[in-house]
Amino acid sequence: MRKYKGHTKLVIKPASTEEISQALKYCNDNMLAVVPQGGNTGLVGGSVPVYDEIVLSTSRINTIRSFDPVAGTLVVDAGCILESVDQFLADKGYIFPLDLGAKGSCQIGGNVATNAGGLRLLRYGSLHGNVLGLEVVLPDGTIMDDLTTLRKNNTGYDLKQLFIGGEGTLGIITGVSILCPQRSQAVNVAFFALESFEKVQHAYREAKQQLSEILSAFELMDGRSQDLVHNVTNKKRPLEGDHPFYCLIETSGSNAEHDKEKLHQFLEHVMSEEIVSDGTLADNASQMQSLWSWREGITECLGHWGGVYKYDVSIPLSDLYELVEDTRARLSSAGLVGDTNEHPVVAVVGYGHMGDSNLHLNVATRRFDKAVEEKLEPFVYEWIAKRNGSISAEHGLGLQKKPYIGYSRSETMIRLMKQIKELFDPRGIMNPYKYI
Amino acid sequence: MRKYKGHTKLVIKPASTEEISQALKYCNDNMLAVVPQGGNTGLVGGSVPVYDEIVLSTSRINTIRSFDPVAGTLVVDAGCILESVDQFLADKGYIFPLDLGAKGSCQIGGNVATNAGGLRLLRYGSLHGNVLGLEVVLPDGTIMDDLTTLRKNNTGYDLKQLFIGGEGTLGIITGVSILCPQRSQAVNVAFFALESFEKVQHAYREAKQQLSEILSAFELMDGRSQDLVHNVTNKKRPLEGDHPFYCLIETSGSNAEHDKEKLHQFLEHVMSEEIVSDGTLADNASQMQSLWSWREGITECLGHWGGVYKYDVSIPLSDLYELVEDTRARLSSAGLVGDTNEHPVVAVVGYGHMGDSNLHLNVATRRFDKAVEEKLEPFVYEWIAKRNGSISAEHGLGLQKKPYIGYSRSETMIRLMKQIKELFDPRGIMNPYKYI
């Protein structure tokens, strides 16, 4: 997003938990600020040394420590790359319960520290449920060993949860133990067009009912986002005509025939009831990839003209798309949106993880522009707060959203959070001036 | 278990969160100790006023606040009874993601406060993943409103997690928001016999692979536990002959035919490979209930002779059953086990949630006996600590296991837990002398 520029005099790359412990102890004793850094793929400036902090990279601790093929429990170093771990698991018939666009370079430690959501959350749930244990180095160098592989352990407060989504402000995650589900032998992908957001909600309800245990993704893309992908890639569109909404459904199950039957029945139902106006089903892996590219390609295509304002938000499902409409109307009526160069905004689009009520509101621009920013903020945050939504669904607070936490959290909660920060990091060396 | 005797001069039953807030504020100002009490079905003395505390019962706040039929998000008062809530959801095609023996009287608030595990955890995961938000009254009367229904909300530390399993030591949960899965239209139950614990593990691995997304329970019962159920109930046993191990498998899915086909294939496979020596499949709902009664009836039957020593523990799967064998050998060699009245111990049995590595080690006795206790503790806890297990999988610490937390948690973690307790409850009024 070209929003944050880092500068630092020192990057340290410890090779073990013990070395991280020594490094942090030194920093703590000498009041030196530290930014933990994994794959550095975050979008909110959380891992960028904007204040000349020391960068502590976890990239050299990257061993898969153990895997239990009966229980499905995996223990890895924080620096392991998500995609490598998933490939390791694929060979054993398991899957990592998290998947996201940056998988080729993001690290498990960073995923956990930012409580990454991604594409598989609908099916496998959040990291708060899947992470079984953590090894964490506290700011003073103490190693907190909570790296259990047990699925149930009711002995005291579940401290590890504070580090999941703690964005490296309480300590550095060095090891992760996680429960991995069985990998599905059969995967199917369907793509369809709908005429209104009400129909999208209806289709989602039907998919949950009819596909139930095999539904693994329900993604939403608005028509404008698909136009832009088409403009940039010039690829043949999966469906003919122009439609205001598109959805991508993925199913994953243990029996290909059963799953196909369920999916066909579902499609027949939603077509005959006119919930869906048109649809297609991938016949093979390359068609699946091609359909997914219309969802996963959005981010890259939006950057084609220049900068993109990105909002990653949670909104109760029924109001989800209204934010896009309201924002588009607001920018349009200010004369900021258009096809020619004098308009800073190319398009206002919405897409996201429908199954998680998670919308990505993106404003593609020809250039970053103060006038656009002033129209967007705090408008977007106020809009969300009014509907009890979250100003950060999965990207986190980092530097970008630190000033806005009050839109999603009460004063009482912010006070408690600050006290917890103070308790774990009394000298304030961990990722200071960010987060809360 | 007849282990804890409560006595109190005051039970208060507030009718609203506001009243709970006022009551707690008064208690805090006047340094009066409080025990929060839900359905009072716990097994470790957590909700018993053993030190003459004031009992604060949540039973009068019991309204279902809201349900979103598209997203599946439910918001309830803490005092709602689990079974009533599940029935409410059944009418809407949803299911509560937790089920346990005490469902007829336990309350949702208590379930969350004790991080109850139960029968559906294998399929739907833990409350740390499913609870979306909480409303909590802090010890000083402050109401912490984190009752969001959003599935994703990465704005600061996930404070609610501390109250999940916090056993009422940090505040009183008054409202719960939770994600409910689609209710399965088809449920099947199979029951089978196996000759060794190795075969049990093998069968579990096969079930995960072949039944994958429809597997909803994998329960273990040893032969001795089934003998006792038979002795007490005199019911016809589901399978002929005597076998050292039995397992119960439940599947839940959206298509009865598909599920039956998968289950038949699985049974054929494990029988032909001789992983399983004998098996049966329920044909209808009453047969299903009857099969389940051989698992769910164990607890009651064990109490037939007198008191029962109960250990609810997590152990890495491969070692799980060894604890039962070692404990049985230890008590037997001390001459404490036998069929006649001079022996205090009737039997040492093991059963539990195999899919969660959660064993219930139970020692059925004719009377509580010091000699038995001395053989059991700290032996059992030491045995578990050596294997990195948990001394409390799902029952919690309460009063019973407070002295033993060190077997499952490091000094660093216990120190941090105490600091968190101090932070939330500086005057120490909430369930004092229990938990950590």
Test B258 with A254 for CB contact under 8 angstroms. no
Residue B96 falls inside a structural domain: yes
CATH number at residue B369: 3.30.70.2740
Measure in Å the smallest separation between the Cα of B396 and chain A Cα atoms.
5
Test A390 with B261 for CB contact under 8 angstroms. no
Q: Are residues A223 and A290 in the same domain?
A: yes
Measure in Å the smallest separation between the Cα of B246 and chain A Cα atoms.
18
Residue of chain B nearest A411, judged by CA positions: B144
Distance of CA A116 to the CA centre of its chain: 5
ipTM, 2 dp: 0.96
| Amino acid letter, B26 | Y
Chain A interface disruption, residue of B115, B135, B213, most A CBs within 10 A: B213
Q: Give the residue among A377, A348, A373 at the shortest CA–CA distance from A361.
A: A348
- Contact between A278 and A199 under an 8 Å Cβ cutoff? The reply is no
Measure in Å the smallest separation between the Cα of B250 and chain A Cα atoms.
14
Test B390 with A154 for CB contact under 8 angstroms. yes
Q: Which residue has the tokens 């769910």?
A: B296
Burial class (CB in 10 A: 0-12, 13-18, 19+), A286: exposed
Q: Which residue has the tokens 């006047």?
A: B30
Give the 3-state secondary structure of residue A3. Answer: coil
Facing A413 at nearest CB: one of B159, B261, B416: B159
- Contact between A149 and A75 under an 8 Å Cβ cutoff? The reply is yes
Q: Are residues A73 and A163 in the same domain?
A: yes
- Contact between A74 and A64 under an 8 Å Cβ cutoff? The reply is yes
d(CA B91, CA B364): 40
Test B71 with A317 for CB contact under 8 angstroms. yes
- Contact between B105 and B157 under an 8 Å Cβ cutoff? The reply is no
**Domain-terminating residue out of B298, B322, B352:** B298
Q: Cβ neighbours of residue B399 under 8 Å, at least 6 residues apart?
A: B4, B44, B45, B46, B48, B50, B433, B434
Test B394 with A152 for CB contact under 8 angstroms. yes
Q: Which residues of B touch A184 (CB under 8 A)?
A: 212-213
Chain B interface disruption, residue of A213, A252, A313, most B CBs within 10 A: A213
Q: Which residues of A touch B143 (CB under 8 A)?
A: 412
- Residue B18, pLDDT score: 98
Q: Which residues of B touch A266 (CB under 8 A)?
A: none
Q: Sorting pLDDT into bands at 50, 70 and 90, what band is A101?
A: confident
Residue B50 falls inside a structural domain: no
Count the Cβ atoms, other than its own, within 10 Å of residue B5. Answer: 9
User: For chain A, how many residues are written?
Assistant: 436
Mean pLDDT of A61-72: 96
- Contact between B14 and B23 under an 8 Å Cβ cutoff? The reply is yes
The CA–CA distances, whole Å, from B334 to A47, B78, B192, B375 equal 60, 47, 33, 8
- Residue B3, pLDDT score: 79
d(CA B256, CA B251): 10
Measure in Å the smallest separation between the Cα of A343 and chain B Cα atoms.
33
pLDDT beyond 80 at A341? yes
- Residue B4, pLDDT score: 87
d(CA B31, CA B353): 41
| Amino acid letter, B188 | N
d(CA B269, CA B272): 5
Q: Are residues A175 and A68 in the same domain?
A: yes
| Amino acid letter, A379 | F
| pLDDT tens figures, A370-414 | 999 999 999 999 999 999 999 999 999 999 999 999 999 999 999
Residue B119 falls inside a structural domain: yes
Mean pLDDT of A249-273: 95
- Residue A287, pLDDT score: 97
Residue of chain A nearest B153, judged by CA positions: A393
Q: Over pLDDT 70: what percentage of chain A?
A: 100
Count the Cβ atoms, other than its own, within 10 Å of residue B289. Answer: 12
Q: Over pLDDT 90: what percentage of chain A?
A: 96
Q: Are residues A353 and A316 in the same domain?
A: yes
Residue of chain A nearest B317, judged by CA positions: A71
Max CA-CA distance within chain B? 69
Test B410 with A146 for CB contact under 8 angstroms. yes
Q: Give the residue among A184, A280, A300 at the shortest CA–CA distance from A240.
A: A280
- The tokens describing A77, both together, are 């170093």
Q: Which residue has the tokens 């993704």?
A: A217
The CA–CA distances, whole Å, from A419 to A400, A423, A425, B157, B420 equal 22, 6, 10, 11, 9
Q: Which residues of B touch A128 (CB under 8 A)?
A: 128-129, 158, 161
- Residue A1, pLDDT score: 66
d(CA A341, CA A352): 28
Test B357 with A115 for CB contact under 8 angstroms. no
**Domain-terminating residue out of A237, A269, A298:** A298
- The tokens describing A381, both together, are 């945050």
Residue A147 falls inside a structural domain: yes
Q: Are residues A98 and A174 in the same domain?
A: yes
Q: Are residues A294 and A307 in the same domain?
A: no
Facing B358 at nearest CB: one of A152, A390, A401: A152
- Residue A4, pLDDT score: 87
Distance of CA B263 to the CA centre of its chain: 27
Chain A interface disruption, residue of B100, B127, B131, B155, most A CBs within 10 A: B155
Round to the nearest angstrom and report the end-to-end CA distance of chain A. 22
**Domain-terminating residue out of B255, B272, B298:** B298
Residue A353 falls inside a structural domain: yes
CATH number at residue B236: 3.30.70.2190
Residue of chain A nearest B257, judged by CA positions: A258
- Residue A118, pLDDT score: 86
Q: Give the residue among B75, B150, B154, B158 at the shortest CA–CA distance from A320.
A: B150
Residue of chain A nearest B422, judged by CA positions: A423
Chain B interface disruption, residue of A143, A145, A149, A153, most B CBs within 10 A: A153
Which residues make beta-bridge pairs with A192?
A247, A279
Q: Are residues B172 and B76 in the same domain?
A: yes
The CA–CA distances, whole Å, from A320 to A216, A351, A356, B56 equal 20, 10, 11, 40
How many interchain CB pairs under 8 A, A with B? 283
- Contact between A129 and B126 under an 8 Å Cβ cutoff? The reply is yes
Distance of CA B435 to the CA centre of its chain: 17
Number of H helices, E strands in chain A: 15, 15
CA dihedral in degrees (B86, B89, B93, B96; nearest 10)?
A: -50
The CA–CA distances, whole Å, from A199 to A203, A224, A241, B92 equal 6, 17, 18, 20
The CB-based long-range contact list for A425-428 (8 Å cut-off, 24+ gap) reads: A425/A138, A425/A139, A425/A169, A425/A170, A425/A171, A426/A139, A427/A28, A427/A31, A427/A139
Residue A14 falls inside a structural domain: no
pLDDT in tens, chain B (436 residues): 677 889 999 999 999 999 999 999 999 999 999 999 999 999 999 999 999 999 999 999 999 999 999 999 999 999 999 999 999 999 999 999 999 989 999 999 999 999 999 888 999 999 999 999 999 999 999 999 999 999 999 999 999 999 999 999 999 999 999 999 999 999 999 999 999 999 999 999 999 999 999 999 999 999 999 999 999 999 999 999 999 999 999 999 999 999 999 999 999 999 999 999 999 999 899 999 999 999 999 999 999 999 899 999 999 999 999 999 999 999 999 999 999 999 999 999 999 999 899 999 999 999 989 999 999 999 999 999 999 999 999 999 999 999 999 999 999 999 999 999 999 999 999 999 999 9
Residue of chain B nearest A410, judged by CA positions: B145
Q: Are residues B193 and B105 in the same domain?
A: no
Q: Give the residue among A63, A53, A174 at the shortest CA–CA distance from A112.
A: A174
Q: Are residues B79 and B162 in the same domain?
A: yes
- Residue A2, pLDDT score: 72
- Residue B102, pLDDT score: 93
- Contact between B379 and B361 under an 8 Å Cβ cutoff? The reply is no
Which residues make beta-bridge pairs with A270?
none
d(CA B75, CA A336): 41
- The tokens describing B283, both together, are 């044909």
Test A152 with B205 for CB contact under 8 angstroms. no
Detail the DSSP E strand segments found in A301-344: 308-314
Q: Give the residue among B343, B323, B325, B346 at the shortest CA–CA distance from B334.
A: B343
Q: Are residues A78 and A167 in the same domain?
A: yes
CA dihedral in degrees (B255, B257, B262, B263; nearest 10)?
A: 100
Q: Which residues of A touch B424 (CB under 8 A)?
A: 416
Q: Cβ neighbours of residue A274 under 8 Å, at least 6 residues apart?
A: none
d(CA A195, CA A206): 16
- The tokens describing B254, both together, are 């959206």
| Amino acid letter, A178 | I
Q: Are residues B191 and B292 in the same domain?
A: yes
| pLDDT tens figures, B94-103 | 999 999 989 9
Residue A333 falls inside a structural domain: yes
Q: Which residues of B touch A396 (CB under 8 A)?
A: 154
Test A258 with B255 for CB contact under 8 angstroms. yes
Which residues make beta-bridge pairs with A68?
A73
Residue B104 falls inside a structural domain: yes
The residue range of the domain holding B170 is 64-179
Give the 3-state secondary structure of residue B200. Answer: helix
- Residue B1, pLDDT score: 66
Facing B153 at nearest CB: one of A154, A317, A390: A390
CATH number at residue A133: 3.30.465.10
Which run of H or of E encompasses A67?
strand A64-68
The CA–CA distances, whole Å, from B207 to A213, A269, B340 equal 16, 32, 41
Measure in Å the smallest separation between the Cα of A88 and chain B Cα atoms.
17
Q: Are residues A286 and A213 in the same domain?
A: yes
Residue of chain A nearest B411, judged by CA positions: A144
Q: Which residues of B touch A143 (CB under 8 A)?
A: 412
- Residue B180, pLDDT score: 97
Domain total for chain B? 3
Omega prior to A238 cis, within 30 of 0: no
d(CA B344, CA B336): 6
